Structure 1
């Protein structure tokens, strides 16, 4: 939960975060959520890929962000937020 809260703090801090598209495949138990936001004037686009188990619980969350400069900005902000909430950076 701390990781998700950190991501929310970083990506939604400007108030411009919004999901723009949702695709689901019930047979494969996968959902794709496309989002858009802005941080420090930089436009950021991304995709959340969620995989679910038979009970409908999330088993995997994968986040992809573009462009590369936005990924670097989000990565740096996530590192700061992890430090603030006492999380270790992934290795």
Structure 2
């Protein structure tokens, strides 16, 4: 189990943020351009912890030729929408997460996430 997964499952978003590289790149399922830097990503991760209900990782897959990529599959709900998603993690040479990409399905759940996150971050 990755340290990131353990932190998120424990609801310790400060610990999850501490695992990010200073110059982490976060690719959101909602916006086109990535967020760059731990300071930009931290409030997003904290908001996700409040918006997603019944969040749980259901699978973890190691991958990549260099062994530094992980795929974490999750399920949750937001408002009245059930969702499935993946966190794609890439680690730098020091072991910090330098790229985090999130994908969510179905579209109606992603729209609910976008709306709830917009309200939370406003």
Q: 1:9 aligns with which of 33, 46, 50?
A: 50
In structure 2, stretches of 5+ residues that fail to align are 1-41
In the other structure, the counterpart of 1:77 is: 116
In structure 1, stretches of 5+ residues that fail to align are 84-91
CA RMSD in angstroms comes to 1.3
1:1-91 equivalences under 5 Å are: 1-11=42-52, 14=53, 16-25=54-63, 27-83=66-122
Count of aligned pairs: 80
TM-score w.r.t. the length of structure 2 is 0.62
TM-score w.r.t. the length of structure 1 is 0.81
Q: Which runs of 4+ in 1 moved over 4 A?
A: none
Structure 2: distance between partners of 1:9 and 1:53 = 28
Deviation at 1:28, TM superposition (A): 4.1
Structure 2 counterpart SS, 1:47: strand
